[in-house]
Structure 1
């Protein structure tokens, strides 16, 4: 074939179908009654010919650019931002959309946040994903009402914006039950000292799960620290050196993997082996930490990739007229967390008391 631009008519000829059929297949028209075999034939012909849609022509015709915007908090410092970006990007790419990403600060003021969203709207994105942290209620800029939007990680207060959040409470319950099933009855919790809703929910779920197992959740030791390795180290030292040695926990749950890394250091400082003398469990499944610790850390995975992919899919469905986003805004959708079993949890060394 010559160097001329490949068009939709070329794809139709190669596939032996009409131009309308090619258009319906390549644009995923929801009401088109086309067999799977024909869809496969059209897509194969388009791929072999190197056909790609004319985005400029599409934008002029449909008033859509095929671009989604992602506003993500603290990309440079938040370990989970990469999974959020990857989930959204791969979901968008699979359906022919591009993703524009803007970093914002979790502590940004209203004017700064408004400018971040404005930058995406100026570039004519079709819809926006807004990724935040810690289950906090966020204030959605008024300008976001001009395009469809979905929140990732937080709810939006009174705003009618659909959201997806992780089931952190369910993840905590699964983690505590795994420690109980291993034979532990003296559990301690290392908590994030920052006053965030997700931290409070984890503490409540920790105590409630112990109560339901017939233990005194209110009496279980809880120590707080800055959500870093040093904070975990200091909190673990306090919790592992009680006034009465018989009260020493045989298992620690840490509210993030960085704090669990600090707990490992505290255990080594006290001459305790993991998991022989002390079982340790983390939260969030930061792979560079969890897989690198020795022994590898059992932890709860937060579904950042899945949440972002789900949110992007929901947004694209709305843009393509397949769903009504307003019907999804009554409350956040919840995705479960997965317990990632590795090597840091074992039965307690002595008889449980």
Structure 2
């Protein structure tokens, strides 16, 4: 059957419920008292019959288009951050909405960003998601104010638009604690040089985690460069000098870790036998394919996209007020992804070190 020959009455008959119940289930009416079993039966009947809602009739009745605008600062072309879009798209589809994407740039002018918001509004979107390439604070386009909108991976400097961001501090603390738990007491850091929230929060977490463990902080064990592969390489060459070498290194991101692996190889150091590494971001194309695979921290890209979309739709449908979230960012956890780049700093040889740390991991 096609959508033109199946209506809500047919779905109700197939599911053995009233037309009102079907309407409440398919429109996700908040106050409807419908059991989980009945909801499942309605959805299964609708799917089996090929029923699809009449979008034009819905728009006329609800004054909503069922479309969400998504302004993407370059993340549409970035493999790891692209999961923000996936989380948004899958969540929107589950709620009966569709995503309309405009790809922007982080260097665009405020006028160009306001023009992009206007383009989406001209197409009658019900709300807007605004996602940035990396966690930063920004001045939102003026015409975004007052709209149902959520920032993803960024913060509004005026605290007027709701936002969702990663737990930079918690992720960095977990990374450093992983090295401490493996037995390392002399730990270095490769940091970014950009003035962005992650640069400062990850360094602060590094210092605080060392302090909590009773370990000293050594200024010379932090080396900073631009957060790309060449920067990680240059910073690691300075950090891994024989006279002051740490036994483990926390890297600002996986790209810097990739450069650090190269530096370690040039210096004749084995990973993790001579030096352990932990990264940040879980860029799978990098982390999984380094040798050995990199232990790292995962940024919750999918989860941020899903949270932002879920809460935006709730606001569009009058089920929540986004202004309640605007004063403080919603912070989502950054889980550890354990691989093979960390071992205990023992003097028993490579196999014993790896075995010692593997045993410790299996007991946690």
8 Å contact kept, 1:209–1:217: no
Task: Compute the displacement of 1:181 (Å).
Answer: 1.2
Q: Distance in 2 between matches of 1:219 and 1:4?
A: 70
1:25 matched to which residue of 2?
Answer: 25
Is 1:326 aligned to 2:323, yes or no?
yes
Query: Aligned pair 1:316/2:313, yes or no?
Result: yes
Give the Å deviation of 1:137: 1.8
In 1, the alpha carbon distance for the partners of 2:301 and 2:75 equals 13
Which structure 2 residues correspond to residues 66-105 of structure 1 after superposition, within 5 A?
Answer: 66-75=66-75, 78-105=78-105
Instruction: Give runs of ≥4 in structure 1 deviating > 3 Å.
Output: 1-4, 76-80
**Distance in 2, Cα, partners of 1:2 & 1:143:** 40
> Does the CA-based 8 Å contact 1:277-1:349 persist in structure 2?
no
Counterparts in 2 of 1:179-258, with a 5 A limit? 179-219=179-219, 221-241=221-241, 245=243, 247-258=244-255
- Bigger CA drift: 297-306 or 159-168? 159-168
CA distance in 2, matches of 1:255, 1:3: 51
Taking the aligned partners of 2:205 and 2:35, their CA distance within structure 1 comes to 49
- Unaligned runs of 5+ residues in structure 1 are none
Deviation of the 1:44 alpha carbon: 2.1
C-alpha displacement of 1:64: 0.6
Task: Report what 2:131 is aligned to.
Answer: 131
Deviation at 1:78, TM superposition (A): 4.0
Cα distance in structure 1, aligned partners of 2:346 and 2:40: 59
Query: Could you list the per-position Cα deviations for residues 241-282 of structure 1 after superposition, in whole angstroms to 9, with x for gaps in the alignment?
Result: 16xx1x211111110101101111101000000000010111
Give the TM-score, by structure 2 length.
Answer: 0.91
Q: How many residues align?
A: 348
Structure-2 separation of matches of 1:51 and 1:135: 41
Contact in 2 for aligned 1:134/1:197 (Cα 8 Å): no
SS at match of 1:121: helix
Unaligned runs of 5+ in 2: 349-364
* SS of residue in 2 equivalent to 1:17: coil
Q: Is the 8 A contact 2:3 2:51 kept in 1?
A: no
Question: Who is 1:15 aligned against?
Answer: 15
The Cα RMSD (Å) is 1.8
| CA distance in structure 2 between the aligned counterparts of 1:326 and 1:3, rounded to whole angstroms | 38
Asked if the contact 1:74–1:81 (Cα under 8 Å) also holds between the matched residues in 2, the reply is no
TM-score by length of 1: 0.94
**1:339 alignment partner, one of 336, 343, 364:** 336
The residue that corresponds to 2:120 in the other structure is: 120
Q: Partners of 2:331 and 2:23 in 1: how far apart?
A: 36
Q: 1:54 aligned to 2:54?
A: yes
Q: 2:343 is paired with a residue of what secondary structure?
A: coil
Cα distance in structure 1, aligned partners of 2:133 and 2:76: 14
- Cα-to-partner distance string for 1:278-327 (whole Å, 9 max, x where unaligned): 10111000001000011000001111111111111111111222211111
3-state SS of the aligned residue for 1:153?
strand
Structure 1 position 37, deviation (Å) = 2.8
Residue pair 1:225, 1:232 contacting (<8 A) in 2 also: yes
C-alpha spacing 1:17/1:320, structure 2 compared with 1 (3 Å) = same
Greater mean deviation of Cα atoms: 276-285 or 314-323:
314-323
Distance 1:203 1:238 in 2: 18
Match of 2:275 in 1: 278
Contact 1:233-1:265 within 8 A present in 2 as well: yes
User: 1:131: how far off?
Assistant: 1.0
1:298 to 289, 295, 298: 295
Distance change (3 Å), C-alpha of 1:198 and 1:134: farther
Distance in 2 separating the partners of 1:210 and 1:94: 44
| Contact residue 208 and residue 217 of structure 1 kept, 8 A | no
